[in-house]
Amino acid sequence: MKEEFLYYLWENRLLRGSLQTTTNQPIRIINPGYRNLNSGPDYLKAWVEIGGQLWAGHVEIHVSTSDWNRHGHQHDKAYANVVLHVVYEDDTKVNDIPVLELKGHFDASLYCRYEKFMMSQHWIACERQLRQVQPFTKNTWLERMAVERLEQKAEAASRILISNKFDWESTFYQLMLRYFGMKVNSEAFETLATLLPLKPLLKHADNLTQLEAMLLGCAGFLDMESDEEYPLLLKREFAVLRSKFNLLTMPVERWRLLRMRPVNFPTIRLAQLAQMIHQNGCLFSKFKEAKSIADAKLLFDVEASSYWDTHYRFNVEGPFKPKHIGEGSADVLMINAVIPLLFCYGQFHKDPSYCEKALRFLEEISAEDNTVIRHFTAIGMNANNAMQSQALLHLYNQYCRRKRCLECSIGNALLQSI
């Protein structure tokens, strides 16, 4: 027997028959209390009637009564207010707290189904049964997953915001850089955001060459010889700006180019970033005011400067091809930087309109395409937009992989179906 299954029975009131203590006092559960995820008893502020007397206090749940002493609760004052000790099996008397034994008071087939889920070797435990679940149950659960994921991302963004002394633009800049360079270069972009803060860039936002000089210079890409005019100009500009702002340079080896599509090379990304700052200045305030997803995406609709029309890196000339930020990259930045920070902004200023806008934007972006989403599609759960694909990623990473089926509405629907 697993303790978490006993929690599930207790808080979902899935107990059968007339309940009584091990000393034959009738028990009525008025309110099971709320789950305590910190140290101390498992359920706080429960209300139970024992032998006709109403008790308010905490409830502790164990597989066996003897677990009380095994867990050292007899020495812990936090357990002084426990009014009921709920156990699967009453194996010994440990104190005078009334004991409720659950054995025989629940549907045994429910436990069998739960065990099958826990022992499942499939990609996810409910893989074979997922199609039986009503669309309404799946959709409402996915909405909850999407909000949970957004809250988690907004919380991460708020930690960056605090470290930036509540500077929203710098926070957005850092978040954006993290997702600007694909997974393979995300750490290098984060380092760059630390070495080169937003302020010097904003001071020179009207000069695209200087912006490129700072971004590419601090990234280490200007530490090379060249006989091309444009890189030499950037080197000269960077030398001046470096001493003006005391800028540091990263070793260029920190960047990875291997097995990357040239269009995603960090040189191209940095040139596009320079153009974004040049065209928009304070970006987050513009995203904040964007009325529609189309307005927001327009802010990403930029092209690297003309040198990059014929280059993917310095000194290597190639065919003419303007370097726009693609739709896919714009979506990644919207999903991971813009939308979480908008949500965080709404929470911080207690203005739900920003949280609603964040969710609406998410709903208007196409679903992501990755292994997890493809796997869910194959077993009957499609993502129609980025809100649903984000929800599925959250469900998979936070629930399915950790076998948290008892906390999942889909799991509940399947476990309790007859």
Contact residues for ligand SF4, defined by CB under 6 A: 124-126, 395, 399-400, 404-405, 408, 410-411
Q: How far is the CB of 256 from ligand SF4 (least distance, A)?
A: 34
* Residues facing residue 48 across a β-bridge: 29, 55
**Packing angle between helix 135-163 and helix 168-180, nearest 10 degrees?**
120
Q: What is the 3-state secondary structure (H, E, C) of 220-275?
A: CCCCCCCCCHHHHHHHHHHHHHHHHHCCCCCCHHHCCCCCCCHHHCHHHHHHHHHH
Output 94 or 125, the one with its CB closest to ligand SF4.
125
Amino acid at position 88, single letter: Y
Output 116 or 404, the one with its CB closest to ligand SF4.
404
**DSSP-derived secondary structure for 104-120:** TSS-HHHHHHHHHHHH-
Q: How far is the CB of 351 from ligand SF4 (least distance, A)?
A: 33
Which of 288-295's residues contact partners 24+ apart within 8 Å by CB, and which partners?
Answer: 288/342, 288/345, 288/354, 292/364, 293/334, 293/360, 293/361, 293/364, 293/365
SS3 state of residue 16: coil
Output 32 or 411, the one with its CB closest to ligand SF4.
411
Backbone angles phi, psi at 291, to 5 degrees: -85, -30
Q: How far is the CB of 410 from ligand SF4 (least distance, A)?
A: 4
Which stretch of DSSP H or E encloses residue 61?
strand 53-64
Instruction: Give the distance, in angstroms, between the CA of residue 55 and the centroid of all CA atoms in the same chain.
Output: 40
Output 83 or 415, the one with its CB closest to ligand SF4.
415
Q: How far is the CB of 9 from ligand SF4 (least distance, A)?
A: 17
Backbone angles phi, psi at 324, to 5 degrees: -85, 155
Q: How far is the CB of 121 from ligand SF4 (least distance, A)?
A: 12
| Separation of alpha carbons 215 and 149, rounded Å | 31
Output 258 or 418, the one with its CB closest to ligand SF4.
418
Q: How far is the CB of 124 from ligand SF4 (least distance, A)?
A: 4
Beta pairing class for 43-50 and 34-35:
antiparallel
Output 41 or 411, the one with its CB closest to ligand SF4.
411
Q: How far is the CB of 126 from ligand SF4 (least distance, A)?
A: 3
Q: How far is the CB of 148 from ligand SF4 (least distance, A)?
A: 13
**Which residue, among 278, 300, 274, has the nearest Cα to 287 in the 3D structure?**
300
SS3 state of residue 43: strand
**DSSP-derived secondary structure for 345-408:** HHHHTT-HHHHHHHHHHHHHSPPP-SHHHHHHHHTT----SHHHHHHHHHIIIIIITTT-GGGS
Number of neighbours of residue 205 by Cβ within 10 angstroms? 18
Output 147 or 208, the one with its CB closest to ligand SF4.
147
Output 22 or 120, the one with its CB closest to ligand SF4.
120
| Separation of alpha carbons 326 and 323, rounded Å | 9
Q: How far is the CB of 38 from ligand SF4 (least distance, A)?
A: 24
CA angle 187, 191, 197 (to 5 degrees): 140
Output 94 or 405, the one with its CB closest to ligand SF4.
405
Output 213 or 400, the one with its CB closest to ligand SF4.
400
Residue with tokens 């700006």: 241
Output 36 or 120, the one with its CB closest to ligand SF4.
120
Q: How far is the CB of 407 from ligand SF4 (least distance, A)?
A: 8
Q: How far is the CB of 122 from ligand SF4 (least distance, A)?
A: 8
